């Protein structure tokens, strides 16, 4: 996920909740196989749709507060925030076509 910026607990409110455009946050961990599967797909989506949607990633091991407050219990979890609220939550690794379908209307 080299192309997607990381967000921390400390930056979450400013970068995600107060953003004027929708923000997709990928909650992931280094040890998570499905997270590594979905990473290149998110890189592609970021390259194709980054002007409409901000893509960020959050390491749940390094930033436990935010995932806990949004009840992220399984990873990867992809949440889309708009106007400070979760408008879409996708749990588990999905192929690109399935992610695009889930994100319809947002990108």
Q: Which pLDDT band, with edges at 50, 70 and 90, does 2 fall under?
A: low
105 lies in a domain?
A: no
pLDDT tens digits along 48-68: 999 999 999 999 999 999 999
Count Cβ atoms below 10 Å from residue 29 Cβ, excluding itself.
Answer: 15
Q: Which pLDDT band, with edges at 50, 70 and 90, does 81 fall under?
A: very high
pTM over cut 0.85: yes
Domain of 92 in residue numbering reads as 3-100
47 lies in a domain?
A: yes
Q: Which pLDDT band, with edges at 50, 70 and 90, does 1 fall under?
A: very low
| Domains in the chain, number | 1
Beta-carbon contacts of 6 under 8 Å, excluding residues fewer than 6 positions away, are 56, 57, 58, 59
107 lies in a domain?
A: no
CATH of the domain at 34: 3.40.30.10
53 lies in a domain?
A: yes
Active site residues: 32, 35
**Average pLDDT, integer, range 17-31:** 97
Give the integer Cα–Cα distance in Å for 87 and 2: 25
């Amino acid at each position: 996920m080299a192309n997607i910026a990381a967000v921390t607990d400390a930056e979450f409110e400013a970068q995600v909740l107060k953003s004027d455009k929708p923000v997709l946050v990928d909650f992931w961990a280094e040890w998570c196989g499905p997270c590594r599967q979905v990473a290149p797909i998110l890189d592609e989506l970021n390259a194709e749709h980054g002007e409409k949607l901000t893509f960020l990633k959050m390491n749940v091991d390094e930033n436990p507060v935010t995932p806990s407050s949004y009840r992220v219990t399984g990873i990867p979890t992809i949440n889309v925030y708009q106007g400070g609220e979760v408008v879409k939550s996708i749990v588990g690794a999905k192929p690109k076509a399935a992610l695009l379908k889930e994100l319809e209307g947002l990108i």
